[in-house]
């Protein structure tokens, strides 16, 4: 069972929940950028949360199913076509052998996800099927799909498909052009001047087109740093530090001008001051933002961050109950 | 009995259907920065008033360090660019009009 790739799309990769446990060696966790959307697709087709899906970026692939298959498409709003006929997102779709799946122009957000009963069955590398193109591991030959690829599909559980055939509108993610992203300050917010910190937290930042699985760059008023003598090894620019580990979701501001949120495929360390970190509960929200999205960074404390994570976990648990 | 397949009568008062209107526009399928030239110091792919043929590249959109060619889907004349060189485009934006 497989998909034949007629057209690959802009950047279509196999992703799962990520490659956990190797960040300390410099290997990012990766995984679906918008984990919640990916899990909804898996839910509809009777997979487990950990099955791999195809993550499509802006322009989706054109695929032909070699056998009958059960699929679902979730995530960013887009028209889905089977043999040229419009079919719904967020609903289970049955494909017959030879059916062609393709997509229209994306209507918001950045990424949509194709789950198939049985999961995308590329080999596991270090415990994950997620594609990490920079490291050339995971997925199909460690890279995004190309025309002519044959994407293997696994054998699903024979417990039958779930009763649920569509995701309720209230449970679907929202794709907004204006978002509030919750962050925790640190580790290097003390390098910002009071004016710089005020600028970070009380200005509107606009997501630029420079955004991918590694990071998302924002334009805005910039920030100001405290005057300090740069320590040995830190470089001359006040946005530089002596190299340190980057928390997942760190915000760095090279040169003090354009903040970058480090996302799922980002490096694990380097020499830029991390002024704040996006809370884990809002990483999916950041992943859904299209270029031009007006963004405000809202500081929360650890208790609020953990409460938000619990809220997300509770929602996911309800979807899977 | 329906109308014979492959045969349709079109009345002049009938508005153009969407596919015909769309066929006059070149749409960006993705967000990014639009470029009219293949590289710095090079000539533009095409200028306003030039004839354009199906499949011809009229510009590039850069996103995620990838340059995707924007192509015309039909023959005609490129009447007007709706987006400036180095302009920001979003999916569905009209890049150029043709006739």
- Could you give the ipTM of this predicted complex? 0.77
Picking from B27, B29, B64, the nearest residue to A212 by CB comes out as B64
* Closest to A204 in 3D by CA, of A192, A184, A215, A218: A218
pLDDT at B4: 38
pLDDT at B6: 36
Mean pLDDT of the region A309-315:
96
**Is residue A39 over pLDDT 80?**
yes
CB-based contacts of A201, cutoff 8 Å, min separation 6: A296, A297, A298, A299
Question: How many CB atoms sit inside 10 A of residue B44's CB?
Answer: 15
Q: How confident is the model at residue B65 (pLDDT cuts 50, 70, 90)?
A: confident
- pLDDT per residue over A84-121, tens digit each? 999 999 999 999 999 999 999 999 999 999 999 999 99
**Is residue A36 over pLDDT 90?**
yes
Of B64 and A200, the structure prediction assigns the larger pLDDT to: A200
CA-based nearest distance B53→chain A, Å: 22
Could you say which DSSP state residue A48 is in? Answer: -
pLDDT at A233: 86
pLDDT at B23: 52
What structural domains does chain A harbor? 2-171 (no CATH), 178-320 (2.40.100.10)
- pLDDT per residue over A112-132, tens digit each? 999 999 999 999 999 999 999
B35, B86 Cβ separation under 8 angstroms: yes
Query: Within an 8 Å CB–CB cutoff, is residue B25 touching chain A?
Result: no
**Is residue B1 over pLDDT 80?**
no
Mean pLDDT of the region B19-30:
74
CA distance A106 to A80: 10
pLDDT at A321: 87
**Is residue A251 over pLDDT 80?**
yes
pLDDT at B24: 82
- Mutate: best of A58, A145, A212, partner B, most B CBs <10 A: A58
- b vs e for A260-273, b when ≥16 Cβ sit within 10 Å of the residue's Cβ? bbbbbbbebebbbb
Mean pLDDT of the region B30-46:
94
Mean pLDDT of the region B76-96:
94
Kindly report the CATH number that applies to the domain delimited by B23-98: 2.40.50.100
Query: Within an 8 Å CB–CB cutoff, is residue A10 touching chain B?
Result: yes
Q: Considering only CB atoms, which chain B residues are within 8 Å of A209?
A: 31-33, 62-63, 88
pTM: 0.90
pLDDT at A196: 96
**Residue A25 structure tokens:** 């060696």
CA-based nearest distance B50→chain A, Å: 27
List the single range of A67-71, A287-291, B62-66 with lowest mean pLDDT.
Answer: B62-66
CA distance A257 to A199: 11
Mean confidence (pLDDT) of chain A: 96
Closest-CA residue in chain B for A217? B64
- The verdict on a CB contact (< 8 Å) between A292 and B31 is yes
Q: Considering only CB atoms, which chain A residues are within 8 Å of B29?
A: 58-59, 105-106
- b vs e for B74-94, b when ≥16 Cβ sit within 10 Å of the residue's Cβ? eebebeebbbeeeebbbbebb
* Closest to A77 in 3D by CA, of A181, A215, A173: A173
Closest-CA residue in chain B for A107? B91
CA distance A15 to A37: 12
Mean pLDDT of the region B57-85:
92
Backbone phi and psi for residue A29, each to the nearest 5 degrees, phi listed first: -70, -30
By DSSP bridging, strand B57-63 and strand B87-89 are unpaired
Neighbouring C-alpha atoms within 13 Å toward the C-beta of A255: 7
- Extended strands (E) in A19-162: 53-57, 62-65, 69-75, 80-82, 85-87, 93-95, 100-103, 111-116, 150-152
- How many interchain CB pairs under 8 A, A with B? 45
Q: Considering only CB atoms, which chain B residues are within 8 Å of A58?
A: 29-31, 63, 91
Mean confidence (pLDDT) of chain B: 81
Closest-CA residue in chain B for A108? B91
């Amino acid at each position: 069972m497989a998909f034949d790739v007629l057209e690959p799309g802009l950047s279509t990769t196999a992703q799962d929940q990520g490659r956990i446990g190797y960040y300390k060696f410099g290997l990012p966790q990766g995984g679906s950028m918008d984990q919640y959307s990916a899990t909804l697709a898996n839910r509809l087709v009777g997979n487990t949360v950990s099955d791999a899906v195809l993550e499509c970026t802006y322009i989706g692939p054109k695929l032909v199913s070699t056998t009958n298959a059960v699929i679902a498409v979730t995530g960013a709003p887009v028209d889905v076509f089977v043999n040229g006929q419009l079919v719904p997102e967020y609903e289970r779709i049955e494909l017959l052998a030879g059916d062609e799946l393709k997509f229209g122009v994306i209507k918001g957000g950045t990424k949509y996800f194709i789950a198939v009963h049985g999961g995308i069955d590329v080999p596991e590398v270090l415990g994950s099927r997620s594609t990490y193109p920079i490291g050339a591991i995971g997925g199909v030959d460690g890279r995004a799909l190309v025309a002519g690829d044959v994407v293997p599909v696994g054998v699903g559980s024979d417990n039958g498909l779930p009763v649920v055939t569509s995701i309720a509108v209230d449970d679907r993610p929202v794709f907004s052009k204006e978002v509030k992203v919750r962050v925790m300050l640190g580790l290097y917010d003390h390098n910002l001047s009071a004016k710089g910190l005020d600028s970070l937290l009380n200005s509107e930042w606009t997501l630029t087109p420079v955004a991918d699985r590694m990071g998302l760059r924002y334009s805005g008023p910039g920030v100001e740093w405290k005057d300090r003598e740069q320590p040995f090894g830190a470089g001359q620019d006040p946005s530089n530090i002596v190299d340190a580990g980057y928390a997942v979701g760190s915000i760095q501001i090279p040169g003090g001008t354009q903040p970058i949120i480090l996302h799922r495929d980002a490096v694990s360390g380097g020499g830029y001051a991390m002024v704040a970190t996006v809370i884990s509960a809002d990483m999916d929200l950041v992943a859904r933002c299209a270029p031009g999205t007006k963004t405000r960074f809202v500081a929360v404390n650890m208790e609020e961050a953990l409460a938000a994570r619990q809220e997300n976990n509770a929602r996911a648990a309800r979807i899977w109950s | 009995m329906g109308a014979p397949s492959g045969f349709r009568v079109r009345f002049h008062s009938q508005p153009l259907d969407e596919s015909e209107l769309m066929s006059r526009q070149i749409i960006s399928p993705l967000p990014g920065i639009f470029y009219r030239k293949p590289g710095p110091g090079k000539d533009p792919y095409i200028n306003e008033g030039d004839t354009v043929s199906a499949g011809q590249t009229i510009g590039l959109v850069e996103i995620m360090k990838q340059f995707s060619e924007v192509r015309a889907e039909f023959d005609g004349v490129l009447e007007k660019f709706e987006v400036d060189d180095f302009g920001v485009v979003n999916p569905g934006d009209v890049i150029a009009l043709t006739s």
